[in-house]
Amino acid sequence: VFVSMHQFFGTEARVAEVKADGTMTPFPNKALATFSAGEPLSLDSVLGLRCDSAGNLWLLDNGMREKSTPKLIAFNSETGNLT
C-alpha cells in the first residue's frame, strides 16, 4: 500500500510504502521522497497517486509545499525505478 503525506502534517517523506507490519518506508527512496531544490525528480506535494496494470505508481505532484515545478511522474511499484 502506498500513501502520500499531506503537506499540512509537515512530514519529511512525501510518499511512503506501508509494509505488512505497519511500518512506513519512504518511496521510491528517501532521497526522492524528501524534497530537495537541486533534484528535479524529488517529490514536493503529492496529492494523487495511482497504480496502473503494469505496476507503475503514478504520482501527481502539484509543487505547492516548496513552490517547485508541478509534475506527473511514474515509478515501478516493485523496484522504485523511474519508468
Query: According to the model, what pLDDT value does residue 20 have?
Result: 96
- pTM of this structure: 0.89
pLDDT digits (tens, 9 = 90+) for 13-69: 999 999 999 999 999 999 999 999 989 999 999 999 999 999 999 999 999 999 999
Q: How far is CA 62 from CA 7, 53, 66, in A?
A: 11, 24, 10
| Cα-based angle 27, 24, 28 (whole degrees, multiple of 5) | 5
**pLDDT of 3:** 96
Which tens digit of pLDDT belongs to each residue from 1-11?
999 998 777 78
Those residues whose C-beta lies under 8 Å from the C-beta of residue 80, and which sit 6 or more positions away, are: 27, 28, 29
Asked if 83 contacts 76 with a C-beta cutoff of 8 angstroms, the reply is: yes
Determine the pLDDT at residue 23: 96
Q: Is the dihedral of CA 17, 78, 57, 12 positive or negative?
A: positive
d(CA 68, CA 32): 13
Q: What is the reported pLDDT for 11?
A: 84
